[in-house]
Structure 1
Amino acid sequence: MPRVLSYTPPWLSRGAPGFDVFNQSNAKGKGPYRPGSGPARTSAPGPKRTIANRGNEIFVAVGNEIRWANLLHLKEAGQEKEKHGFRKSWKNSPGIDTRGELDQVYRTLKTNVSGQITELSIAPNNDFMAICTSHTVHIALLPDSAHLVSDDTGPIRLKTFHLGPTSHVLDSSPLAAVLWHPLGRHGRCIVTVTSDANLRLWEFNRDNRNSFGEPELSIDLKKLASGVDSMEDFQAARIDDKSGYTPDSFEMEVASACFGATSKVNSRGWNPMTLWVAMKNGDIYALCPLLPKKWEYPSLGRPFLRSLALPVQARDQISGHGDDDAFDQQTSDQQREWFAGIRGDLDENPRTGELLEVYTRPVYPGPIPRLQGPFIFDPDVDVDDSEVTDIAVLNPTNDAEAEDEEDAGRDDPPVSIICVATNQGKMHVCLEFEGVEGEWLPMESATGIIPLYDCPLLQRFETVEFQTKDGNEVSCHPIFTADAKGGASVFVSTETGVYFVGMTGWVRPLYDELSNFERDGAALRIEAILRGAGSLLESIVHYRQDQYGDRLSSTAACVAMANVELGYFLLASEGSQPHAIIIDAPDSDYYADGHPVVPYEYDEVTGPKLPEPWPAYQPPQSLFDFQSQLPKFMENVPERHKFLLKEEIRMSTATLNILTQAHRVLVNETQLLGQAASSLFTRCQRLQDELRDQLRKANDVANQIEDITGEEEATQEGELTGSKKIDARIEQVKAKQKELVERTERIRQKLSKAGTRELSDKERAWFAEVDRMKAGLLDSSPPEEGEEPTPSRRLVQIRKLKDDLLQQVHQLGTEEPAEKKGDDEVKVPSEFRKKKVQQIMELLDRESAMVEAATKKLRRLTVASGGY
Structure 2
Amino acid sequence: MPKVIGHTPPWLSRPSAGARIFTDPTPQSPESPSKRASYLSAPPSADYQGPRRLVASRGTEIFTVVGNKIRWADLSSVRDDWEESSHSGNSRHGLSQSGGDDAGEPQAYRTLDVSIYYQIRQIVISPSGLFLAISTEHTVHIAVLPPTSRLTEHDRSPLKLKTYQLGPTIHVIPESPLASVLWHPLAASTVSSDCIVTITAEAAVRVWELDRSNKWSFERPALSIDLRKLADGVSCDEDFEPSGFGKTRGFSVDDFDMEVSAASFGGHGRDDEDAWASMTLWTAMRNGDIYALCPLLPSRWKPTSTTIPSLSTNAVSRMASIAGEDVDVDERRAADQQYEWVQEIDNDDPVLLDSVDSLEPFEVRLRPQNPSAIPRLQGPFSIQSEDEASDIEISDIFVFAATIDEHDLMMEEDDDDFDQFASHGIPFTTICVATTTNEALFAIDLDGVSGQWLPKKGKSAFSVPTSDAKGLILIDTITVETSGSNAANNWPMFTSDAVHNFNLFLTASKQIYSFSLNEWIMHLADELTGTEPLDPGFKTRLETTCESQVCITNKLLQVDEPTDILSAPAIVDDVSLGSFILSTAKSSAYVVFFDQAHLQASMIEPSSPELTAASPSRLNSQHLKVAEQEDPNELENLPTRAPYVPNKVFYANPLNPAEQMKQRLPPNLKRAIVEKPMRLSPGVLEIMTVTHRTISAQSGELEKAAAELFRRCERLREELGNQVKQMSELAQRLQHLKSGGEEDEDGNVADKKSAETRIQNAKERQASLMTRYEALRRKVGRVGSAKRELSTKETAWVEEIDTLGRNVGIGDDTQESGDLASRLDKRFEEVKRIAQELLDESKRVTQDSAPSPMSASMSTSMSTTKSAGSGSTAFGVSSRLQKERIGDVMAMVERESAVIDAVMKRLERLKVEY
TM superposition score normalised by structure 2 = 0.68
| SS in structure 1 at match of 2:132 | strand
| SS in structure 2 at match of 1:272 | coil
Task: Please state if 1:586 is matched with 2:591.
Answer: no
Unaligned runs of 5+ in 2: 33-37, 407-415, 601-629, 663-668, 771-914
CA contact (8 A) 1:16 1:81 kept: no
One-letter identity of the residue aligned with 1:53:
S
Task: Please state if 1:283 is matched with 2:299.
Answer: no
Distance 1:639 1:443, change over 3 A: closer
Which residue of the partner structure matches residue 163 of structure 2? Answer: 160
Task: Please state if 1:26 is matched with 2:26.
Answer: yes
Which residue of the partner structure matches residue 186 of structure 1? Answer: 189
CA contact (8 A) 1:424 1:467 kept: no
CA contact (8 A) 2:26 2:653 kept: no
One-letter identity of the residue aligned with 1:184:
A
Distance 1:500 1:472, change over 3 A: closer
Q: 1:353 aligns with which of 340, 344, 359?
A: 359
One-letter identity of the residue aligned with 1:435:
G
Distance 1:237 1:635, change over 3 A: closer
| SS in structure 2 at match of 1:74 | helix
Q: 2:517 aligns with which of 503, 523, 532?
A: 503
Once the two structures are TM-superposed, the CA of residue 223 in structure 1 deviates from its matched residue by: 0.6
Once the two structures are TM-superposed, the CA of residue 135 in structure 1 deviates from its matched residue by: 0.9
Distance 1:669 1:515, change over 3 A: same
Distance of 2:114 and 2:679 partners within structure 1: 50
The count of corresponding residues between Structure 1 and Structure 2 is 699
Q: 2:452 aligns with which of 439, 460, 471?
A: 439
| CA distances 1:707-751 after superposition (whole Å, capped 9, x unpaired) | 9988457999999674544466679999999xxxxxxxxxxxxxx
Distance of 1:286 and 1:350 partners within structure 2: 30
Q: 1:395 aligns with which of 395, 401, 417?
A: 401
CA contact (8 A) 2:740 2:751 kept: no
Distance 1:316 1:694, change over 3 A: farther
Which residue of the partner structure matches residue 429 of structure 1? Answer: 442
Once the two structures are TM-superposed, the CA of residue 627 in structure 1 deviates from its matched residue by: 2.9
Distance of 1:45 and 1:211 partners within structure 2: 31
Q: Which moved more, 1:492-501 or 1:176-185?
A: 492-501
Which residue of the partner structure matches residue 544 of structure 1? Answer: 560
TM superposition score normalised by structure 1 = 0.72
CA contact (8 A) 1:263 1:399 kept: no
One-letter identity of the residue aligned with 1:345:
P
Q: 1:485 aligns with which of 477, 484, 499?
A: 499
| CA distances 1:803-823 after superposition (whole Å, capped 9, x unpaired) | xxxxxxxxxxxxxxxxxxxxx
Once the two structures are TM-superposed, the CA of residue 81 in structure 1 deviates from its matched residue by: 3.4
Distance 1:292 1:471, change over 3 A: closer
CA contact (8 A) 1:294 1:360 kept: yes
Alignment of 1:226-245 (within 5 A): 226-245=232-251
Q: Which moved more, 1:237-246 or 1:247-256?
A: 237-246
Q: 1:524 aligns with which of 516, 534, 540?
A: 540
| SS in structure 1 at match of 2:471 | coil
| CA distances 1:729-780 after superposition (whole Å, capped 9, x unpaired) | 679999999xxxxxxxxxxxxxxxxxxxxxxxxxxxxxxxxxxxxxxxxxxx
Which residue of the partner structure matches residue 93 of structure 2? Answer: 88
Which residue of the partner structure matches residue 508 of structure 2? Answer: 494
Task: Please state if 1:614 is matched with 2:653.
Answer: no
Alignment of 1:686-705 (within 5 A): 686-688=715-717, 690-691=719-720
Distance of 2:632 and 2:205 partners within structure 1: 53
| CA distances 1:69-128 after superposition (whole Å, capped 9, x unpaired) | 1001111222233334556226689xxx9657524x211111222221111111111111
CA contact (8 A) 2:482 2:508 kept: no
Q: 1:683 aligns with which of 697, 712, 718?
A: 712
Once the two structures are TM-superposed, the CA of residue 292 in structure 1 deviates from its matched residue by: 0.6
> What is the root-mean-square deviation in Å for CA atoms of aligned residues?
4.3
| CA distances 1:30-80 after superposition (whole Å, capped 9, x unpaired) | 589xx9963122172356111111111111111221111100111122223
Which residue of the partner structure matches residue 10 of structure 1? Answer: 10
Task: Please state if 1:533 is matched with 2:549.
Answer: yes
Distance of 1:183 and 1:662 partners within structure 2: 55
Task: Please state if 1:556 is matched with 2:567.
Answer: yes
Distance of 1:193 and 1:213 partners within structure 2: 16
One-letter identity of the residue aligned with 1:527:
E
Distance of 1:31 and 1:439 partners within structure 2: 44
Distance 1:544 1:730, change over 3 A: farther
CA contact (8 A) 1:469 1:475 kept: no
Once the two structures are TM-superposed, the CA of residue 554 in structure 1 deviates from its matched residue by: 5.1
Task: Please state if 1:314 is matched with 2:320.
Answer: no
CA contact (8 A) 1:289 1:438 kept: yes
Distance of 1:251 and 1:430 partners within structure 2: 21
Q: 2:584 aligns with which of 573, 593, 600?
A: 573
CA contact (8 A) 2:7 2:591 kept: yes
CA contact (8 A) 1:426 1:467 kept: no
Distance 1:664 1:371, change over 3 A: closer
CA contact (8 A) 2:145 2:161 kept: yes
Distance 1:514 1:383, change over 3 A: farther
Unaligned runs of 5+ in 1: 590-600, 643-655, 738-868
Task: Please state if 1:74 is matched with 2:89.
Answer: no
Task: Please state if 1:297 is matched with 2:319.
Answer: no
Once the two structures are TM-superposed, the CA of residue 390 in structure 1 deviates from its matched residue by: 0.6
Q: Which moved more, 1:687-696 or 1:136-145?
A: 687-696
Distance 1:714 1:148, change over 3 A: closer
| CA distances 1:592-623 after superposition (whole Å, capped 9, x unpaired) | xxxxxxxxx9999xx99836322221122233
CA contact (8 A) 1:572 1:580 kept: yes
Once the two structures are TM-superposed, the CA of residue 240 in structure 1 deviates from its matched residue by: 2.8
Distance 1:585 1:657, change over 3 A: closer
One-letter identity of the residue aligned with 1:311:
N
| SS in structure 2 at match of 1:271 | coil
Once the two structures are TM-superposed, the CA of residue 350 in structure 1 deviates from its matched residue by: 4.5
Distance 1:528 1:658, change over 3 A: closer
Which residue of the partner structure matches residue 598 of structure 1? Answer: none
Once the two structures are TM-superposed, the CA of residue 307 in structure 1 deviates from its matched residue by: 1.7
Once the two structures are TM-superposed, the CA of residue 312 in structure 1 deviates from its matched residue by: 2.5
One-letter identity of the residue aligned with 2:582:
L
Distance 1:638 1:267, change over 3 A: same
| SS in structure 2 at match of 1:341 | helix
| SS in structure 2 at match of 1:369 | coil
Once the two structures are TM-superposed, the CA of residue 327 in structure 1 deviates from its matched residue by: 2.8
Once the two structures are TM-superposed, the CA of residue 137 in structure 1 deviates from its matched residue by: 0.9
Q: 1:207 aligns with which of 213, 218, 224?
A: 213
| SS in structure 1 at match of 2:44 | coil
| CA distances 1:191-227 after superposition (whole Å, capped 9, x unpaired) | 0000110000011110010111111100000111111
Distance 1:150 1:25, change over 3 A: closer
One-letter identity of the residue aligned with 2:705:
A
CA contact (8 A) 1:223 1:234 kept: yes
CA contact (8 A) 1:224 1:371 kept: yes
Once the two structures are TM-superposed, the CA of residue 158 in structure 1 deviates from its matched residue by: 0.9
Sequence identity percentage: 34
Task: Please state if 1:263 is matched with 2:269.
Answer: yes
| SS in structure 1 at match of 2:211 | coil
Which residue of the partner structure matches residue 463 of structure 2? Answer: 450
One-letter identity of the residue aligned with 2:294:
C
Alignment of 1:596-635 (within 5 A): 610=637, 612-625=639-652, 627=654
| SS in structure 1 at match of 2:311 | helix
